[in-house]
Amino acid sequence: MNVSVSHGLQPRYRAVFISDTHLGTRGCRSDFLADFLRRMSCDRLFLVGDIIDGWRLRKSWYWDANHDEVLRLILHHARSGAEVTYIPGNHDEMFRAWLPVGLEVGGIRLRKDAVHVAADGRRLLVMHGDEFDSVVRYAKFIALLGDGAYVSALVVNRWFNVVRRRLGYPYWSLSAWLKRQVKEAVKAIGRFEAALANEARRRGFDGVVCGHIHHAEMREVNGMLYMNDGDWVESCTALVEHHDGRFELVDWAAINRLSFLAPKLEHASSTGAKASVVNGPQLGREPASV
């Protein structure tokens, strides 16, 4: 029997899928993620890519006690008997070089993609999804802009056009431009979902679990079950499978009423390490380059 990481009352899942945690960046909500990892237990844990952000690490490094804690908890899950599979994404593609070796570290298996057989027998293809970037092309983060950002953009647009008028330029509508961008981004997400569903069908699966576009979703796409586990930067979502075969998207920030605007939770990790930042300036929550 597995030793549970959680403290008793929490659910034990058949499988848990997380991706796009972007550890090593300031944007990663490692505090919320550590909280989730601490309070859940599962038989299978799938890390569906962009877990450690190697792109950013080359330019700058952000690491604090919560990032340590996330790694510690993942290893703890592996040691406690969970089958942990790490599927590198495009931000942690440095691990892809190790795929031919069949690397296994601390009980974590490295795989290009994986198969998950659900409790009801459905076979799911698990992959990050950046292989289908060609169909996305667009800055997805625009689709994720909330109403607040949209409203402040309109205020900026007003002043922008006051300046344009003074300089003798005609009016330019940011609002119309934004609406066009959002429409394109939504279409791009649709293309991504269709591409992943088609890949699952082509390879004889019943559905697909992926990440990459930071857009949690669970629906049927062209007769295939399409499930995207979201991210831990713009939102904090995980895909879980209950023992009865029911899949659920867990919005950890929402159900725990965690605020993205509040300062990061100081985790009392045993090391008590302070946040470390080296090399170059840090922006706040940067828009996602998925």
Strand 247-251 and strand 237-241: pairing? antiparallel
What's the chain's Rg over C-alpha atoms?
Answer: 20
Q: How many residues line the site for Mn ion (CB under 5 A)? A: 6
For Mn ion, the closer CB: 118 or 239: 239
**Which x/- pattern, by CB under 5 A, does the window 56-95 give for Mn ion?**
---------------------------------xx-----
Shortest Å, Cβ 243 to Mn ion: 30
Q: Which of residues 198-237 bind Mn ion (CB under 5 A)?
A: 212
Q: Which of 125, 288, 144 is nearest to 216 (CA)?
A: 144
For Mn ion, the closer CB: 92 or 241: 92
For Mn ion, the closer CB: 90 or 235: 90
For Mn ion, the closer CB: 50 or 69: 50
Q: Which residue is nearest to Mn ion (CB)?
A: 212
For Mn ion, the closer CB: 89 or 207: 89
Decide if residue 24 touches Mn ion (CB under 5 A). no
Helices and strands in the chain, H and E counts: 7, 14
Sheet strand arrangement including 237-241: 104-105, 108-110, 83-86, 41-47, 12-18, 237-241, 247-251
Q: Which of residues 115-174 bind Mn ion (CB under 5 A)?
A: 130
Shortest Å, Cβ 230 to Mn ion: 12
Separation of first and last alpha carbons in the chain: 38
One residue of 35, 50, 64, 68 binding Mn ion per CB under 5 A:
50
- SS3 string of 254-287? HHCCCCCCCCCCCCCCCCCCCCEEECCCCCCCCC
Residues that bind Mn ion (CB under 5 A): 50, 89-90, 130, 212, 290
